[in-house]
Structure 1
Amino acid sequence: MDYEPTDYSKVAIREYPARTIRETAEGRYWKQFKAPVLAQQIGPITHIDFKQQWPYDFAITSSTRVLIYSSATQKQVRQFTRFKDIAYSGSFRDDGKLMVAGGQDSIVQVFDAGSRLVLRQMKGHKQPVHVARFSRDKQHILSGGDDATVRLWDVTDGTQVSRLTGHSDYVRAAAASPTSVDTWATGGYDHMCNLWDVRSKQAVMKLEHGSPVEDMAFFPAGALMVSVGGTEVRVWDLLGGGRLLRRLSNHQKTVVAVRLSPRAGPDALAAPRLLTGSLDGHVKIYELDGFKVTHASKYPAPVVSLGLSPNCSTLAVGMADGLLSIRKHAKPKVITGPGAPPEKLKRKPPPLTAANFRFFMRGRNARAGIGDVQVLARRKARLAPYDRALQKFQYGAALDAALAGGQPQVVASVLEELAARGGLTAALGGRDADGLVPLLDHLRKYIVEPRYARLLVGIAHRVIDIYAAVVGASAEVDEKLQQLQGRVKLEVALQADLRRLQGSLEPLLAASLGMPRG
């Protein structure tokens, strides 16, 4: 006798909590960077700097060389070797035409980025120069050295404009304000971040970072500044008088590099991101509303430098063992304005009229909006095999169909439906060896899963009660029962070990928190 699916309600498949945290849109975006292209250098890569103009080539500083890599081909295109000793801080000018670098020999050198000619050699520091940056007006350079001084140079004639004193230890970080050509920030191993007005040659603000400062950067609007050093990232409110806005401790070892990208993330033009690199081998990305980590990447060696292209299409990471990692994004964001790539000529589609096929196919893939009213077509109910069996009150066949599908949440939902109908005994009983083996396999596989354990333990008890009298009649069934017994014993032993471990940890946790025992 056949039944029409008129009043039958399909089994509602129970939804269980996910075992892992679902990937966010932010995480998916950063995971879309392709597999890295690796290039081995002869020394640690201490600095990475991108051009601001398309095609966004970048410079890396390693050992006694500054190398230029192409973002398009990810290959080396140029190198600067005019250094007597170790080079530091190879950086481009905003227009990409000049490059500046410091060195172990305490000389600040300016190069023509195209011809590699040495244009200026500025001498004045008494010890190695680890940081050198062009100013926003393109006419000056700020350098900081291990002699604890900060010096401002005139690019046109190579002379020293001013000498800024205020640090008491090595100066290892500097950043130019995006809103004022006369405002600079420097950080040193004396734990201080100094904000300078080069016109008055005075530090107008001194901020205590709490650890040797390794790197720093201004936010795009210039009102906030970030400094890194030790295991902390600190965000400062400069307009609020240097107030510490946020202290972030998401790394396990010294944070050595920080970058701010105004065009990173899924919504590139509206969602700036903060990137930090650390000696723990991690690069972490923060959103700037709550300063929460939205993504993290692990590298095979301590990270000592990082850089991100202005259009967020290329991520370069330098490591302490000299390994350079270059990753390209699968779908780089398109940007406009100064430095944007030239637009490609695209063939315009023909106008949408009744003369072409697209006119009659329009709207087929459109989705309904929030306020739209959807009129659903009446369709014949399509039932799963276990639903068809349940509709005919064939409980054993329904359980067999669910087991054949191999989806544990479906089997659990069918078992609960059978229990609600009072048909669980009928579904489990009367089985031969061929019908019992799939059920025992399912129990053995999922009986220790927390999501299904409560239900399947009761089912296992029922199965043993029903078939206890015929144990030994089938070698295959006996083997499955032994496997089920072994799985349960293993889980019981594991739970016992965890309880003993918990008992050992509780006094330690209570002591560390200052709580009374018992």
Structure 2
Amino acid sequence: MEDQPGQYQKTIIKQYPARSLNETAESRYWRRFRAPVLAHPGGAISCIDFSPVYPYNYAVTALTNVLIYDAHNRKQIKSWSPLKEKTYSGTFRSDGRLLVVGGENGRVQVFDPYAGNKDERLVRQLKGHERPVHTTRFAPSKFHVLSGSDDATVRWWDITTEEQLYRLDGHTDYVRSSACSPSSSDTWATGSYDHTCRIWDIRSQECTMTLDHGAPVEATVFLPGGSLLATAGGTEIRIWSMLAGGRLLARLANHQKTVTSLAVAPLAGPAATSAPRLISGSLDAHVKVYELDAFKVTHVSKYPSPVLSVAISPNAALLAVGMENGQLSVRKHSHNKGPVGGAPAKPKKVWHQRLTAASYRYFVRGTTEKPSKDDVKISQPGMRRLAPYDHMLRHFQYRAALDAAVATEQVEVVANLLEELAARSGLSAALGGRDAQSLLPLLMHLVKHLSDPRHSDLFIGITNRILDIYAPALGVSEDVDAKLRLLRERAMLEAKLQTSLVKLQGTLEPILHAALSQQPVAEE
């Protein structure tokens, strides 16, 4: 029904944007990693590695222990102390049958993790490093191992003869991470505390590229396809283009403390993300997920202790996080109800109710249809339904209208009605002449919502007006006196806070302007 001249106009309630962003499909996917199983392997967990083959069991390296967990039930099935000292970087071979481990004494050992006798588990022992070995990796060929040590060297081993084939020199500080390119088994990346990541060609035993990360490099990983490399050091993750000669593509500074580990979430299963994701763990106790198109954070998880290692299973069903306090958290994705890696469950048939007069949908059909350009709308006169505060406002009952608005307990309704009363010069009539019983609900509403940033300016002005009106009546009611004192304190605190924020904004504006005006420095 169209409004007629002289007809009362309803109070328009302003619509404000949501205080938080709606949850996206990406966030919902990562939130489905639920029901964490917690374990305590016995010390800070420096490395977690999933077997590349089904059933995707995972190895956990914690102080002197190496533990193997069953991916089906996330329970420990093997545990031993291979070196009787600190161990590092327990990683599987591509067939999942062997495990290579570095040690504090400089030895590199190859184990059969599923051997029944502990004495039979040791397969090979590679000696040559002079200081602790923090990173070890099997080559795709299965017969070679690359290791990096605190003696600043990278070594290439033949496990069939237990001999060192190559020694790669170039780093000037501890070597703490390594990764093999998925596009070439002869291309390796090693990260060091000398702030560089070096790209090696094993065939020529030469460094083909040096990338300056700008901080001690803690982790390196090639992204799918091998054209991009991610390095982590300090609070930054940097993305490098291998095809462009090591050009820096992005700097991701989303952590507050040192980034300790990186992992790549694969595309696996119909419920997985639309593309692989980069996962990072940090000493700030957060694990963050990045999409690889614009390198934006899509999900964040908080853990109770600094994160030292993070890994995800090849089928993207298990997410494992190792922490500094010795706690291991393993979460399973809820889309996989059966054994991890098993055949996906058959989709359930959806039953559709038949549309008959026995269902409610039968009577509301067509109500959501939009009119076409040829349709004619015929309006019928009818009664306009007014809210109680609108009905009283229409009859100039300003005090009763304000009471009705407060009774709704909706801050937007009260704020808009106060603005309407101010426009009608009716605030004095609405606020004044109240007894204790009618004044208390209004005071309680203002105390509760005075700090709401959307209405704080309006409510502070109303508070000052109320204090001016009822200051002479102090001492009549103890409840009113208590609420007036509390309201005065809240108003003074809010005003002081807003003054501080204005000063802070004035301080930050020139800094932000200078930062935005700087042009990015071209990388060599």
| Matching residue of 1:373 | 370
Amino acid corresponding to residue 74 of structure 2 in structure 1: Q
User: What displacement does 1:54 show?
Assistant: 4.6
Amino acid corresponding to residue 82 of structure 1 in structure 2: P
User: What displacement does 1:176 show?
Assistant: 1.0
1:114 equivalent in alignment to 2:120: no
The answer to whether the Cα contact below 8 Å between 1:175 and 1:217 also exists between their aligned partners in 2 is yes
* Cα deviation digits, residues 100-139 of structure 1 (max 9, x gap): 2222243333333433643621323233322211222334
Q: 1:14 to 1:190 in 2, by over 3 A?
A: same
Between the aligned partners of 2:11 and 2:270, the Cα distance in structure 1 is 39
| Matching residue of 2:343 | 342
**SS at 2:232's partner residue?**
strand
User: What displacement does 1:65 show?
Assistant: 1.8
1:87 equivalent in alignment to 2:94: no
Equivalent of 1:200, from 204, 208, 213? 204
**SS at 1:34's partner residue?**
strand
Between the aligned partners of 2:461 and 2:349, the Cα distance in structure 1 is 66
Matches within 5 A, 1:63-212: 63-115=63-115, 117-118=120-121, 120-127=123-130, 128-156=132-160, 158-212=162-216
Q: 1:301 to 1:11 in 2, by over 3 A?
A: same
User: What displacement does 1:231 show?
Assistant: 3.2
Equivalent of 1:253, from 257, 265, 280? 257
* Cα deviation digits, residues 221-251 of structure 1 (max 9, x gap): 1001011223332211111011122233333
User: What displacement does 1:444 show?
Assistant: 3.3
Between the aligned partners of 2:237 and 2:403, the Cα distance in structure 1 is 58
Q: Which moved more, 1:145-154 or 1:399-408?
A: 145-154
Amino acid corresponding to residue 114 of structure 1 in structure 2: Y
TM-score, with structure 2 as normaliser = 0.79
**SS at 2:311's partner residue?**
strand
| Matching residue of 2:438 | 435
Identity within the alignment, %: 51
TM-score, with structure 1 as normaliser = 0.80
Between the aligned partners of 2:7 and 2:141, the Cα distance in structure 1 is 78
| Matching residue of 1:11 | 11
| Matching residue of 2:389 | 386
Between the aligned partners of 2:98 and 2:222, the Cα distance in structure 1 is 22
Q: 1:288 to 1:7 in 2, by over 3 A?
A: farther
Between the aligned partners of 2:360 and 2:141, the Cα distance in structure 1 is 53
| Matching residue of 1:3 | none
Between the aligned partners of 1:11 and 1:47, the Cα distance in structure 2 is 62
Amino acid corresponding to residue 93 of structure 1 in structure 2: R
Q: Which moved more, 1:469-478 or 1:107-116?
A: 469-478
User: What displacement does 1:374 show?
Assistant: 5.9
Between the aligned partners of 1:287 and 1:241, the Cα distance in structure 2 is 23
User: What displacement does 1:502 show?
Assistant: 9.2
| Matching residue of 1:44 | 44
| Matching residue of 1:397 | 400
**SS at 2:128's partner residue?**
coil
| Matching residue of 1:233 | 237
| Matching residue of 1:62 | 62
Between the aligned partners of 2:217 and 2:27, the Cα distance in structure 1 is 29
User: What displacement does 1:491 show?
Assistant: 4.2
* Cα deviation digits, residues 471-506 of structure 1 (max 9, x gap): 655554444333333433444566677789999x89
Amino acid corresponding to residue 344 of structure 2 in structure 1: E
Q: 1:264 to 1:481 in 2, by over 3 A?
A: farther
Q: Size of the alignment, in residue pairs?
A: 494
**SS at 2:225's partner residue?**
coil
The answer to whether the Cα contact below 8 Å between 1:151 and 1:163 also exists between their aligned partners in 2 is yes
User: What displacement does 1:324 show?
Assistant: 1.9
**SS at 1:214's partner residue?**
strand
| Matching residue of 2:413 | 410
User: What displacement does 1:412 show?
Assistant: 0.6
Matches within 5 A, 1:266-305: 268-305=272-309
Between the aligned partners of 1:363 and 1:233, the Cα distance in structure 2 is 55
Q: 1:142 to 1:372 in 2, by over 3 A?
A: farther
Q: 1:470 to 1:61 in 2, by over 3 A?
A: closer
Q: 1:29 to 1:13 in 2, by over 3 A?
A: farther
User: What displacement does 1:301 show?
Assistant: 3.0
The answer to whether the Cα contact below 8 Å between 2:269 and 2:315 also exists between their aligned partners in 1 is no
1:217 equivalent in alignment to 2:218: no
The answer to whether the Cα contact below 8 Å between 1:26 and 1:265 also exists between their aligned partners in 2 is no
The answer to whether the Cα contact below 8 Å between 2:78 and 2:113 also exists between their aligned partners in 1 is no
Between the aligned partners of 1:224 and 1:272, the Cα distance in structure 2 is 13
Between the aligned partners of 1:313 and 1:118, the Cα distance in structure 2 is 29
User: What displacement does 1:267 show?
Assistant: 8.0
The answer to whether the Cα contact below 8 Å between 1:126 and 1:147 also exists between their aligned partners in 2 is yes
Between the aligned partners of 1:431 and 1:30, the Cα distance in structure 2 is 54
Q: CA RMSD in A?
A: 4.2
Equivalent of 1:456, from 448, 455, 459? 459
The answer to whether the Cα contact below 8 Å between 2:260 and 2:308 also exists between their aligned partners in 1 is yes
| Matching residue of 1:516 | none
Q: 1:499 to 1:149 in 2, by over 3 A?
A: closer
Segments of 5+ residues of structure 1 without an aligned counterpart are 1-5, 514-518
Q: 1:381 to 1:37 in 2, by over 3 A?
A: farther
The answer to whether the Cα contact below 8 Å between 1:25 and 1:266 also exists between their aligned partners in 2 is no
**SS at 1:186's partner residue?**
strand
